[in-house]
Amino acid sequence: MLKHLFFLLMLGISLQVYAQSPNPHARLKELGITLPEAEKPVANFVKWVRSGNMLYLSGHGSCGAPTAVDRGKLGKDLTTEQGYEAAKRVAICLLATLNDATGGDLGKVKRVVKVLGMVNSAPEFYDQPRVINGCSDLLTQVFGEKGKHARSAVGMASLPGNISVEIEMVVELEEE
């Protein structure tokens, strides 16, 4: 009897650990997300820089063909809910770049450390944190506890190309 209780306890702990440390590629598949190819920079910069075990991802907008949520000002052209979707789309592009930077192994991510979310905002718009939740929620779904991060969510008078959301990210990688 005691042996069975121990087994069930260990099984529960194993499931809890799995829930906190999911396989990122498996989680993406469960979420129905296919990562696009990482896009090349459009100016004189690189999409990511690695220094030691830290990986710094440049500011990203959405990738691929633009949708209705990818351009415009929040609070004027777009709703908070549309901004949330735009931030989620940007997070997918960040993940594509991160996948490229890790040689296709998102399991190398030790921790998402910091996210800076910039929202193209009308002067009266104050829900930038709710918009950037689209990114933060996806990162937590994909990486579990490793995806929880420090964050800033700020409004901008404008963003390049009138994009609705731009996000940059700092990630710590496992020791090699």
Residue 121 CA: distances (Å) to CA of 48, 161, 173: 26, 14, 33
Question: Do the domain assignments include residue 4?
Answer: no
Task: Identify whether 57 is part of a domain.
Answer: yes
Residue 12 lies in a domain: no
| Average pLDDT of adjacent 10-residue blocks, the chain of 176 residues | 44 43 88 94 94 97 95 98 98 98 97 98 98 98 97 98 98 93
- Res 136: pLDDT: 98
The pLDDT of residue 153 is 98
Break the chain down into helix, strand, coil percent, rounded to 5. Answer: 40, 25, 35
Of the chain, the end-to-end C-alpha distance in Å amounts to 43
pLDDT for 22: 65
pLDDT at residue 176 in the model: 78
Q: Residue 113 class from Cβ within 10 Å (0-12 exposed, 13-18 middle, 19+ buried)?
A: middle
Residue 103 in any domain: the answer is yes
Q: How many domains does the chain have?
A: 1
Phi, psi of 173 (to 5 degrees): -100, 155
Please give the C-alpha separations between residue 89 and each of 12, 21, 57, 112, 171, in angstroms, as whole numbers. 34, 23, 16, 17, 18
Enclosing domain of residue 42: 23-173
Both tokens assigned to 26: 């498996």
CATH number of residue 92's parent domain: 3.30.1330.40
Q: What is the pLDDT of residue 5?
A: 43
Evaluate whether residue 117 is within a structural domain.
yes
What is the C-alpha to C-alpha distance for residues 63 and 6, in angstroms, rounded to an integer? 49
Classify residue 41: in a domain, yes or no: yes
Domain-located, residue 34: yes
137 lies in a domain?
A: yes
pLDDT for residue 102: 97
What pLDDT, on a 0 to 100 scale, did the predictor assign at position 42?
A: 84
